């Protein structure tokens, strides 16, 4: 599932190069969807080349990290689905993108989607729009990374977080597919533990770390958003201008990370 990229001297702040832009514009969406199907992901990009390419890049990056550094980043979302505002059931989800941790109804006239699925709004997700809004939110101190892949990586890390929690604590919900996949004898607390991370007092986080991670995660009061923003930042910083992984992302973790956050990472990853 390679989206080719080679050396180019014109590097934009967001990580885009002229070569990468050219490659995105030449993306074969149908082939990418077929490739995702081979690894167990039902992808429907609705012909959106930019969204499709971003998730192909993210796939290659996360799989490469998993292989090189033996990190558990190889979880594959059950679905990656592009939607528009008219299709969504919950109007609060009219964002760039979101991930679901449990199975349920998400889009009108569609069956339940499995927890660990990702949804991407088709609005403001072209190459230039995505680049503009990602960089804008970073410069305003809202997000942790200006990289053009930040949104795709962020949502993917939500699904990785879910996968890690369920592997350790079991699932505990009603979905038969997730029950079968995360059938851990005697444990069924993963869903509740995962959801509890969405409601946390962030007052313990030092100001320097708040600036590092961005206002979005802090104001959300969610360790889930903080995890996704932190992992997105350190992963983007582990890439060269050609989107090749050049170092272990965990080497980019701040040395003075708050102990509460370090605990959350340690309990799901061997770091």
User: Looking at the domain assignment, is residue 183 inside a domain?
Assistant: yes
Those residues whose C-beta lies under 8 Å from the C-beta of residue 22, and which sit 6 or more positions away, are none
Domain count, the chain: 1
- Kindly report which listed range (112-126, 156-170, 253-267) carries the lowest average pLDDT score: 253-267
pLDDT in tens, 152-190: 999 999 999 999 999 999 999 999 999 999 987 778 899
User: Looking at the domain assignment, is residue 247 inside a domain?
Assistant: yes
User: Looking at the domain assignment, is residue 2 inside a domain?
Assistant: no
Query: How many Cα atoms sit within 13 Å of 12 on the Cβ side?
Result: 17
Mean pLDDT across the stretch 12-23? 85
User: Looking at the domain assignment, is residue 124 inside a domain?
Assistant: yes
**Distance between CA atoms of 172 and 169, rounded to whole angstroms?**
9
CA-closest candidate to residue 172, choices 157, 184, 160: 184
Name the average pLDDT for the chain.
89
Tell me which DSSP letter residue 250 carries: G
Query: Measuring CA to CA, how many Å separate 245 from each of 4, 74, 157, 271?
Result: 14, 15, 17, 19
- Ramachandran category for residue 79: left, alpha or beta (phi over 0 → left; psi -120 to 50 → alpha): beta
State residue 265's pLDDT score. Answer: 86
State residue 93's pLDDT score. Answer: 64
Burial-class residue 20 by CB neighbours within 10 Å (0-12, 13-18, 19+).
buried
- Stated as kind and residue range, the H or E segment containing 119 is strand 117-121
CA-closest candidate to residue 174, choices 224, 222, 112: 112
Mean pLDDT across the stretch 73-88? 93
State residue 1's pLDDT score. Answer: 55
**Distance between CA atoms of 265 and 180, rounded to whole angstroms?**
25
Kindly give the residue spans of alpha helices, DSSP state H, lying in 26-126. Answer: 29-38, 49-69
Reported as a pLDDT band with limits 50, 70 and 90, residue 10 is very low
User: Looking at the domain assignment, is residue 188 inside a domain?
Assistant: yes
State residue 231's pLDDT score. Answer: 95
Count CB neighbours of 31 within 10 A.
12
Largest Cα separation within the chain, whole Å, is 55
User: Looking at the domain assignment, is residue 245 inside a domain?
Assistant: yes
User: Looking at the domain assignment, is residue 271 inside a domain?
Assistant: no
Hey, CA dihedral for 232, 234, 235, 237, is it positive or negative? Answer: positive
**Distance between CA atoms of 4 and 25, rounded to whole angstroms?**
12
User: Looking at the domain assignment, is residue 36 inside a domain?
Assistant: yes
Domain that holds residue 187: 18-266
């Amino acid at each position: 599932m390679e989206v080719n990229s080679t050396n180019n001297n014109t590097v934009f702040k967001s990580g885009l190069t002229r070569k990468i832009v050219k490659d995105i514009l030449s993306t074969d969406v149908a082939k990418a969807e077929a490739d995702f199907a081979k690894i167990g992901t039902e992808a429907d990009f609705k012909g959106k080349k930019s969204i499709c390419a971003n998730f192909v890049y993210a796939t290659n990056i996360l799989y490469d990290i998993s292989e090189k550094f033996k990190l558990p980043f190889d979880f594959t979302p059950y679905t990656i689905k592009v939607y528009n505002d008219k299709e969504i059931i919950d109007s609060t989800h009219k964002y760039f993108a979101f991930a679901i941790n449990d199975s349920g109804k998400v889009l009108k006239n569609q069956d339940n989607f499995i927890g660990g699925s990702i949804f991407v709004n088709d609005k403001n997700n072209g190459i230039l729009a995505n680049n503009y809004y990602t960089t804008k939110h970073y410069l305003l101190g809202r997000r942790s990374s200006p990289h053009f892949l930040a949104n795709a990586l962020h949502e993917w890390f939500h699904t990785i977080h879910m996968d890690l929690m369920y592997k350790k604590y079991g699932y505990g919900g009603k979905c038969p597919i997730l029950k079968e996949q995360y059938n851990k004898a005697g444990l069924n607390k993963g869903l509740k533990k995962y959801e509890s991370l969405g409601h946390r007092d962030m007052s313990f986080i030092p100001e320097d770390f708040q600036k590092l991670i961005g206002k979005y995660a802090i104001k959300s009061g969610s360790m889930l958003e903080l995890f996704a923003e932190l992992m997105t930042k350190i992963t983007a910083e582990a890439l060269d201008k050609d989107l090749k992984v050049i170092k272990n992302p965990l080497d980019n973790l701040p040395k003075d990370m708050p102990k509460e956050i370090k605990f959350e990472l340690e309990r799901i990853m061997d770091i």
